[in-house]
Amino acid sequence: MRDFFSLDGAFNKYGGMLADMVIVSLMWLLFTAATLGIAAGASTAALFYVTTRRISDREGYITRDFWEAFKANFKRATVIWLIILGMLLLLYNNILLILDAEAGASGIFSIVLPAQLVFIALILLMSVYIYPLIARFDMGLVQVCKSAFFMAVRHFLTSITCVALVVGVLFLFFQFPPLLIVAPGLYAWLASMMIMRVFKKYRPEMDKDPMLEIAELEAARAEEKRRREFNLGSGDSEDEERRDFWDDVEEERSED
């Protein structure tokens, strides 16, 4: 029981995580509501910036990280949010027109209706990755969409699971509305666990501990220096070139 309430115990760990979820959820709600939904995309990008970093145990201040990410990604995230919203409204309107048409179950309408549903599904699957990509990578909108499409298809199980997670969180919210204060953060936290695994397949060094990076770099330099010193006596041209190279490196480091 003492371990449960210790500084490294489960109570502090999960209690702190829950508190972080509430804080980031309230910030998402505040920034989205204050802009009448226009900045929902930027708020979501900021939300995923915070949660993906926390999943990787990167330290920081939630409110500051959220605000900085919101400002940095506002333009890209807002533009793509308005595009997605416009496309979904257009597709929804098309579906209503098709269902209202007398020939809705035959002819061209039987082809057009499934196509609308496929487009909606594809947009939802891509949206799983769009805002985390905006939050964590410096990409143009075209590259974001290409990467999101590739990941949505390549990692289909993860994509479907994240969409199902959205549905599940919304269901819980409608069953118990007070959960709104934690719902956005809960979804982003759970989704980030899966999304970061996908990201690290392509960027293994992502969110690596900087102290570990320094230690590995120093170890690599020491090993290379040891090999260089060991091979200096061989006298072949390759060793001479290697020695000249490292002499130049050491000279540049001393000048810095």
pLDDT, tens digit (0-9, with 9 covering 90-100), for 80-114: 999 999 999 999 998 888 877 755 455 566 778 88
Q: Which residue reads 């810095």 in tokens?
A: 256
Helix (H, G, I), strand (E, B) or coil at 3: coil
pLDDT, tens digit (0-9, with 9 covering 90-100), for 228-250: 766 654 445 555 555 555 555 55
Q: Closest by alpha carbon to 43, among 185, 194, 192?
A: 185
Long-range own/partner contacts, residues 81-88 (CB < 8 A, 24 or more apart): 81/38, 81/40, 81/41, 81/42, 81/44, 82/38, 82/41, 84/41, 84/123, 84/127, 84/130, 87/119, 87/123, 88/120, 88/123
* Cα–Cα distance for residue pair 210/187, rounded to 1 Å: 28
Instruction: Note the pTM of the prediction, 2 decimals.
Output: 0.76
